[in-house]
Amino acid sequence: MPKIVTGWLKSRIRGKSISRNTIAVGLVVLDRLRSKSPLSEGDIFSIGGEIKGARSGLPAILDKYGIPRRFLKEATTRQASHDGAKLLMDLKFGKALPASSELRDAQLKTGIELLKQEALGWLAREPIKVSFDRQLSPSTWIISILQKAKGKSGGKVEQHLVGAKLAQRHRSCDVPNFPGHAGDLQTGRSGDFPLKGVSYHVTATDGKEAIPRCKENLESGVHPVLLVPREFVAKALLRAELEGIAARMTVLSIEDFLAQNVIELATESNTDFFTTIKGIIEEYNRRLEKVETDLSLKIEIQ
């Protein structure tokens, strides 16, 4: 049993790490097998093909095994369901476990302990550490942050940095603060940051998912601003052109958008660039703590 779980974990590594969703769905599967083994597909899969208990049931399972709830609110990704199905197949839906209930439960507890250690290790990850050479430009500082976050952020760092910048810039406004994976349809919002007739969309990719929402903004009289990494600006513009909206919307690089605002805020407040970006990062950390469970995305200035 431990060999099966260890082998399954190794096979689920993507980009040198294992997703929280994968660890969580593994816990759900093994916990369910403690209650009933073997399982039928109807016991564990919903009609939509998701692992039962991976959403609303996850907090109770985390509590049961002493894992802080902030590890993950719910395992919702499509990949998590595939990973859970793979573990079930590796265990033959429980038929690969001992017939003795005591031996079976002991082995399942061992497997759960392996996943618990993975979860605790994940929670112990260090924050994003950056150092700013005062002789370099704000643009270079922003690029440094995004490079450190690459492969770890999933777009959340980019989103919350923009939110922090907007909050610093528009102090009299209530700048929205949503979790990074909260979809616009779920929250009823027109973009990541609807503000004063403008809707800001932030993405770590080329804007494929955001362009249709930008089009909807234009149809409702709202000006869309799409913010993408500098390397994807040309692709995002091409997507906008193909949709026939390039001339009616704004596409900017996240790096330039943030750096320009650091310069403008510093000028307006008569402070230096470092003090200004430090304030934005402090606001970023405050906003992150309120809505995200992955606190390793906090930024620490060294």
What 3-state DSSP class applies to 160? helix
Widest distance between CA atoms in the chain: 74
Whether residue 280 is found in the same domain as residue 147: yes
Of residues 214, 265, 272, the one with CA closest to residue 243: 214
Final residue in a domain of this structure, among 74, 100, 123: 123
Q: Do 111 and 156 reside in the same domain of the chain?
A: no
Number of neighbours of residue 176 by Cβ within 10 angstroms? 18
Q: Radius of gyration (Cα) for the chain, nearest Å?
A: 22
Domain co-membership, 66 together with 167:
no
Single pTM value for the model: 0.76
DSSP β-ladder status, 198-202 and 223-228: parallel
Would you state the pLDDT for residue 166?
94
Residues 10 and 138 both lie in one domain: no
Pairwise CA distance, residues 140 & 256, whole Å: 10
Which of 61, 89, 123 delimits the end of a domain?
123
Count CB-CB contacts under 10 A for residue 262.
Answer: 22
Q: pLDDT tens string for the chain (302 positions)? A: 778 999 999 999 887 788 889 999 999 999 999 999 999 999 999 988 889 998 889 999 999 999 999 888 888 778 889 999 999 999 999 999 999 999 999 999 999 999 999 999 988 888 999 999 999 999 999 999 999 988 777 889 999 999 999 999 898 888 989 887 544 333 344 578 988 899 999 999 999 999 999 999 999 999 999 999 999 999 999 999 999 999 999 999 999 999 999 999 999 999 999 999 999 999 999 999 998 888 889 999 98
Residues 168-209 pLDDT 10s: 989 888 898 988 754 433 334 457 898 889 999 999 999 999
**Separation CA 262–CA 166 (nearest Å):** 11
Q: Are residues 189 and 45 in the same domain?
A: no
**Ordered DSSP codes for 213-278:** HHHHHHHTT-EEEEEE-GGGHHHHHHHHHHTT-GGGSEEEEHHHHHHHHHHHHHHHHT--HHHHHH
For residue 38, say if its preceding peptide bond is cis, omega within 30 degrees of 0. Answer: yes
Q: What is the pLDDT of residue 18?
A: 87
**Would you call 105 helix, strand, or coil by DSSP?**
helix
Residues 59 and 185 reside in one and the same domain: no
| Pairwise CA distance, residues 165 & 158, whole Å | 11
- Domain check: are 85 and 142 in the same one? no
pLDDT for 181: 59
Strands 223-228 and 250-253: parallel
- pLDDT score recorded for residue 189: 47
Residue 213's CB is within 10 A of a number of other CB atoms, namely: 20
Q: Give me the pLDDT at residue 88, please.
A: 92
CA-closest candidate to residue 93, choices 42, 162, 53, 158: 42
**How many domains is the chain built from?**
2
Residue the block writes with tokens 């399942």:
108
Question: 156 and 117 share a domain?
Answer: no
Structural domain range at position 118: 2-123
Place of tokens 């950056």: 130
